[in-house]
Chain A
Amino acid sequence: MEYNNIRALLEKYWACETTEAEEAELRVFYAAHEEPLPADLQEAAPLFRYFHAEGEGAFEKKEFNMPELFTDRRAPWETAKETKIIRPFWQGWMKYAAVLLAAAGMVYSVNQYQLKLHGQSEETTAFRDTYEDPKLAYEQTQRALQILSRNLNKGKSQMEKLGYFNEAQEIIQGNHN
């Protein structure tokens, strides 16, 4: 009875009158019946077994290996949890060195600034009185001025020699005129 149904379906199949469901039925029938079939049904057996093996059968048996590229499995970077990488502190030594260098630079500049301020105050002290006793200060000043005067007189005596040349030049110029 079953074979008659299959025979009818086969006739329809060769005439292209079968529906998709009927064709699927044929494929399943031949795939399930490995034992020898009547001669008239045997003709189409390899064809439908082939169709089944290539189509539904490949899915069922997992014979078909889909390339990894087209799987819908998530890529590792999409599924990976937020992992925190802990490295020993010395591995990032450059940043610590940079911080230290910046800190040293700041300390140095502050220090320099303070020194500068301090230096200015020292300069101002130069104008202050260096002597407590006015008399002593007077004597010291007098001495300094005497040294200045003495040296000035030395220069003046030298300048007098220059005066002779000047007079001589004037005399020559006067004769000339």
Chain B
Amino acid sequence: MSSEVFISLIMPFREKLYRFALRLLGNEEDAKDIIQDAFVKVWNNKDKMGELQNLEAWCMRITRNLALDKLKSRKYRVTDDLERAGEVPATHHSPHQSTEKSDLMRRVHGAIHRLPEKYRTILQLRDIDGLSYQEIGEVLEIELSEVKVNLHRARKQVREQLQNLHVYGIQ
């Protein structure tokens, strides 16, 4: 496979992969590193690409695995720490963007980031990236039923937090 063919196949996903890595890591530099590593890994496994049914899901899976490895190695699993979760929102936005973003949106962002990593990733893959259940299953290497159950729980938790927000006006 020539580099031009490779680029034409992979480059369309680059933004989605980058955003995915950014959401997982919450840091632009780390996300860039991960995407670079992911592209190298994809290139090294380019012979397998012909056998794959969903190239995008495969790339996302590689990105996710690398991102999770990085999180483990750095020991900053931000999502599991409820106290620190509030600090996470908007880390990848510029101050200007952050100030523009409404307070409500930041609270939603915080609510999603307080979810366990598994739930949060599924919710983001579905509701932000628009992946099908099948694709999410391939990315996360889990069964379709597990995707549905976890997504249901994730939405339920987010809904509860949103309801609290509306009832009490605080979060």
Q: Which residues of A contact B (CB under 8 A)?
A: 13-16, 20, 23-24, 27, 42-44, 46-47, 49-51, 53-55, 58-59, 63-64, 66-67, 69-70, 72
Q: Which B residues, 1 to 20, have Cβ-Cβ distances below 8 Å to chain A?
A: 7, 11, 14-15, 18-19
CB atoms of B15 and A51 under 8 A apart: no
Q: Are B14 and A70 in contact (CB under 8 A)?
A: yes
Judge whether B77 is part of the interface by a CB distance below 8 angstroms. no
Q: Can you offer 30 A-B residue contacts whose CB atoms are under 8 A? A: A13-B155, A14-B155, A14-B156, A14-B159, A15-B152, A16-B152, A20-B130, A20-B132, A24-B130, A27-B127, A42-B166, A46-B107, A46-B165, A47-B108, A50-B112, A51-B128, A53-B101, A53-B105, A54-B128, A55-B129, A58-B19, A63-B97, A64-B15, A64-B19, A66-B15, A70-B14, A70-B15, A70-B35, A72-B7, A72-B11
Residue in A46, A59, A64 whose CB lies within 8 Å of B162: A46
**Contact residues of B: prevailing secondary structure:** helix
B residues less than 8 Å from A15 (CB atoms): 152
Verify B109–A43 contact, CB threshold 8 A. no
Interface size grouping (class) on chain B: 35 or more
Q: Which secondary structure characterizes the binding site on chain A?
A: helix
Q: Residue of A at shortest CB range from B166?
A: A43
Collect the chain B residues with CB atoms within 8 Å of residue A58's CB: 19
Within the complex, the shortest CB–CB distance from A67 to chain B, in Å, comes to: 5
| CA gap between A55 and B16 in the complex, in Å | 9
A72: nearest chain-B partner, CB-CB: B11
Given contacts A50-B108, A66-B18, contact A43 B148 (CB under 8 A): no
Expressed in whole angstroms, the Cα–Cα distance for A56 and B165 within the complex equals 25
Give residues 93-140 of B contacting A (CB, 8 Å): 97, 101, 104-105, 107-109, 112, 124, 126-130, 132
B91 in contact (CB, < 8 A): no
